[in-house]
Structures are given as C-alpha cells and as structure tokens.
Chains A and B, each alone.
Chain A
C-alpha cells in the first residue's frame, strides 16, 4: 500500500493498524492521520485496555503491527526499529515514566539531547558527558520551570512520582522532535504539576509540534486539544472535534474509563 499525494504531505499516516496479543485484539484496523504543520493536540481517549498505549507503541516502533502501516513524514516507518523512528523525530513519553533511575536529574535531561549513530559512538568516548554549555543551560531552564533545579544533582529514583513524571517530560523536550506521543502526561499529578505540564504541552503546540496525548482524565487538556480520537476494544469509534465527539454516542464509553486511575 502506498500513499496518495495528499497523504504523502501528512506528518503521520496510520493505515489499518491491527495488533493482537495471544489472540486478543488490541488494535483492529485503526486508521489515523495527522496533517503536517497543523500542530495542535490530539487526545486519545478510551477505557482501560482500549489500545491507547498499544497504538503509541506501534507508532513509535516498540511493537510491530500484525497488519497495517505507519508513515511518518511520508516515509514508511512500520518496520523501522524504535531507535530509528525516535531519531526521525518521533518522541515518546511513558505511562510508567521510565526515568533513568540511577542517573542524576540533570544527566537525565542532558543525555536526552544527544544521540550518537554509527562511528559517532566511538567518538563519544572522547566527548564530555556534561555536554556543551548551551545544552546545560537549556536543561537548567527546563528544570527551573518544573521547580526541579534545586534537585538537579539528585538521583532520579529519589524523586516523587510527580517529579519523575516531569523529568520524563523534560527529557522528551530535550530530545525534541516533530511528533510527541505522550502516554498519560497528567495522570496522577498534583494541580500545580499538572498546570506546568499543560503549559509545556501548549508551548509545544505553539512551536508547531504535533502532540498525541493518551489520557483518561482529559478534562484539563480539553482547552488545548483540537481533535479527539476514541478507542474502544481496539477499534476507533470516534474521531473529530472534541465537543462533537463528547456530544456523540461514544460519550458513555469515554466516561466509563474515568472511574479509576490506572
């Protein structure tokens, strides 16, 4: 399957994505596309087990789909290893956060800003791990925004859950990219931290980045999102403007997932 001329110009095109685990369908024929330069946040909602995380995992290359294709900037990335998709400009945050636990907060951010490929890995032996001054400054300003600058030399594992989540997001910011896939960016955060995250997401959108955020309790994000996609049992059941989707028949399914946090 190839792309039409219009699709070729899209940032992300996902066609008929199908994935099952031990016979249980996690995604079935999900198609989805994101226009280039449109920016904006796409909210991916749905109850537990709807396939939101699986969808993100397949798009960023952690999982291979059983069927279907993923195109990023017109390029087929379906079977590309995740590190290559990442280098192409797809940046991922995780529900389970995945901070680099035994590295300092500062190192978590600084190491995300660079990437060595091929022979560069050998030259990395002679490169200063603290990175150039600008990088440290940028990491510092991100940490400042998150009120984490004072904890920059702490090990990431000694932070609270909310702080780890901020470090995870800070890492994604340092890495940069064109498409940000955020898995539950605000779940479990305090009011204050949630506001910070929302500001960051808003600033990403202002910079013209595309953001796909999978979230249960999406209300705080509603003001920023331009589009809502509803997954249920692996199928896309709604896709459109948030107020239209919320007024439509899938509302009960969307809110069904909000009784619990997980």
Chain B
C-alpha cells in the first residue's frame, strides 16, 4: 500500500508539471526546456522557508509566487527570441538555473542539498500526503483546463503560437502575453516543486537538471500538446513506465536495459502518434 501512495504522489507531481508546461508548449508554441528551474525554485523556496520555521501552508504561496516571478522574468528575456532560438534560450536558462542551485551555497547549501523538511498533513503519513498531492493536482488541472479552454487570454496565446506576425497585425502584445504565460506556467511548476520538497524531505540540485525538463517536455509531447487530458496521460505513462520496468527483472544489466526499453518505447510511441495520444496541437 505504501508503494501505491508513492505512485500517486509521484504521478500527481508530474501531472502538475506537465500540465503547467503545456501552457507554454501546446498553447503558446514555446518549446521550453527550463521548466525544471521553476520546479526547483518552488522546491528550494519551500525547503528554505520551512527550515526557517514557516509552516507548509505559509511557505506554499510564497514558493508559488517565487516560481511565477522567476518564470515571468525569464519570459520577458526569452520572448525576444523566436523558434529554435527561443528553445535554446530556455535551455540556457535551465543550465544557469541548475548551476545557481549548485553554486549558491549560502542559500541552497550547494550539492549537499537541504535536508529535514517536514511533511504536512495528518501526522505526515504517506497516505495523507498522497491525498494532499492528488487534491492539488486536480485543482491545478481544473485551473489550467479552465484557462486554456475558456479564457480569451488562451486564444491570444494560440494566435501567437500559430502566427506571430498575424497576431502583431491584430495589435497583440507579444512579449507581455508570453511573459504572463511563462509566469503562470512557472507558478504551477513551483507548486509541483513545493509538494516535491515536502514529500521527499530533501532537495538537492540533481532533481532540477535540464534532463528533468526534457522528461517533462516528453510527457507533454507524448501525451499530446494542447490537451490537458493528454498531457496528464503522458505524465502518468512516463512516471509509471520506469516503475513497471523496475518489476520486469531484466538481468544482468538492469539499469542500462531499462534505459534502452524506455527509449525504445518513446520512439515507437512517437512514431505511432506524432501528435501525441490526445494532442490538439500539431508541430508544423
């Protein structure tokens, strides 16, 4: 049963991360690989505040705000870039973000990380925490789905995604729209980070690398960019798949084989579903 709670928590956090990244990828057309940085900002902010004696409930909104502000600023800087250059720009942000976590030792304690973060919930049991994460995940999904399905803002983002020049000719503020999209996306990523920090009780830079960002991006693309349901499915699949492979005892080199099976599965799935499983947005 413990293991089930573990899976629920893991999936819940990745669902939040993938859905928040989809605000950028599926709706704004920004292929960002800096998501782990905003995720990390949320995790570190929570860890540091809890270590300073704040409760989880007080540190959570601060962490979310930190993520939003960081992402907004990144958005302001990166919005001047276009297409592949924008993706490269976010890659640079991801690298720099990770390096800051490693080197700013007075704040983050560097590679050793911050330990002893208390878990909120009833007695801190894993069942209660899994419920908490699941609740937050559902709330975040509703929020993101509400924005993308019903808001005029999301239509503006999609106009920018489809044709920036056309959007400009209609008077749309490109930079502001993109920066706010980044900010929102970063806020939800920081929520994921905050939950992660409390769950594991320990944060160190290794969880917030560019390859983590790429994993989250794979969830979005595999599940289907532009669809909240799709990216959630992508998150569930890519979070659970390695767990399933753990049970398939493929000796004698389990780790290497897991990676190969995992990679192969990704290639096959993408070849079969180029728009992702439930994708609405097709990369052109």
Contact = CB atoms under 8 A, between A and B. Distances in A.
Interface of A: 60, 62, 81-84, 86-87, 91-92, 94, 98-103, 107, 110-112, 114-118, 121-122, 124-129, 131, 171, 175
A121 B172 CA distance: 9
Given A121-B180, A128-B152, A100 B171 contact: no
B170 A171 contact: yes
B158 interface: yes
Given A111-B170, A116-B173, A98 B163 contact: yes
Interface string B133-165: 000000000000001001111111011011101
Given A124-B156, A127-B153, A128-B152, A98 B170 contact: no
A171 B172 CA distance: 14
Contact of A82 (B161, B162, B169): B169
Contacts of B169: 60, 82, 86, 91-92, 94, 98
A121 B176 contact: yes
B152 A114 contact: yes
Given A103-B158, A103-B159, A128-B152, A87 B166 contact: no
B180 A86 contact: no
Given A83-B172, A94-B165, A100-B163, 11 more contacts: A83-B168, A87-B171, A92-B169, A98-B163, A98-B169, A111-B152, A115-B171, A121-B177, A122-B180, A125-B151, A129-B155
Enumerate the 7 nearest inter-chain pairs by beta-carbon distance, A residue then B residue, closest first: A124-B153, A100-B162, A86-B171, A127-B152, A98-B166, A87-B171, A115-B171
Contacts of A128: 150-152
A53 to B, nearest CB: 12
B284 interface: yes
A129 B151 contact: yes
A60 B150 CA distance: 31
Interface SS majority for chain B: helix
B38 interface: no
B282 interface: yes
Contacts of A112: 170
A125 B181 CA distance: 10
A62 B169 CA distance: 9
A203 B15 CA distance: 51
22 contacts: A62-B168, A82-B169, A83-B174, A92-B169, A98-B166, A99-B166, A100-B159, A100-B163, A102-B161, A103-B162, A111-B155, A111-B156, A112-B170, A115-B170, A124-B152, A124-B156, A125-B147, A127-B153, A129-B150, A129-B153, A129-B154, A171-B166
Contact of A129 (B152, B163, B168, B180): B152
Given A94-B166, A125-B147, A128-B150, A103 B171 contact: no
A224 to B, nearest CB: 23
Contacts of A171: 166, 170
B91 interface: no
B152 A115 contact: no
B39 interface: no
Interface residues of B, number: 30
A166 to B, nearest CB: 15
B196 interface: no
B199 interface: no
A91 B172 CA distance: 13
Contacts of A118: 173, 176
Contact of B162 (A101, A117, A124): A101
Given A87-B171, A115-B170, A171-B170, A102 B152 contact: no
B126 to A, nearest CB: 35
B281 interface: yes
A175 B127 CA distance: 54
Nearest to B176: A121
Interface in B264-281: 280-281
A121 B153 contact: yes
A15 B168 CA distance: 24
A98 B168 CA distance: 11
A109 to B, nearest CB: 11
B278 to A, nearest CB: 15
A113 to B, nearest CB: 9
Contacts of A62: 165, 168
User: Which of B153, B165, B174 has the largest number of chain A CB atoms within 10 A?
Assistant: B153
A102 B163 CA distance: 10
B283 to A, nearest CB: 10
